[in-house]
Amino acid sequence: MDTTLKILKPYTFVSITWMGTTLRTEAIITGYQPQLKRHYYRIPGNGKIVPLAQEELDKMLVFEGHRVPFQTDCEAKCFHGNGRFNFVTDDPESLKAYIRQCCLNPCPEKLKKIVYHLPTTLDRGEQRGLPLFPMGQ
């Protein structure tokens, strides 16, 4: 999927780290090299410019803007390491609706990898998340 982002627009990237946890990155696109299919971004408050290849972007969930209304496992300090997009919510239907409406690059393969955890189960140490889009739809 070829996702072209707009220069100087804020975006939120949700990615799976090498440890299998879910990371949210708020970024501002600073440039694009079409011949390399590579975006460049910076994190607000940090002057460093970071390259982002199309192959990496294709693995992420991308949302326009910052302050998106969800929490990842890393933010909830309950690292799951299962190689899925892990969200923590007590309202999975609202999360599902937000992703359906606002994710700029959804595809069935990514949607199948989205799981949610209820905040109450984290206190009990439960690790298994529930699929948000069981059939990738």
**Helix or strand holding residue 125 (H, E):** none
Within a domain: 2: no
Q: pTM of this prediction? A: 0.90
Question: What pLDDT tens digit does each residue of the chain (137 aa) get?
Answer: 567 799 999 999 999 999 988 999 999 999 999 999 999 999 998 889 999 999 999 999 999 999 999 999 888 887 777 889 999 998 999 999 999 999 999 999 999 999 998 876 655 555 568 899 987 56
Phi/psi at 76 (nearest 5 deg)? -85, 0
Report yes or no on 49 lying in a domain.
yes
H/E segment holding residue 11: strand 10-16
Range of the domain at 56: 10-131
Strands across the sheet with 130-131, in order? 71-72, 85-88, 114-117, 130-131
pLDDT at 70: 92
Check residue 124 and give its pLDDT: 56
Determine, yes or no, domain membership for 5: no
Looking at the structure of the chain, the number of domains it has is 1
One-letter identity of residue 61: L
Please name which of 133, 137, 135, 136 lies closest in space to residue 93, comparing C-alpha atoms. Answer: 133
Closest alpha carbon to 3 in 44, 56, 72, 51: 56
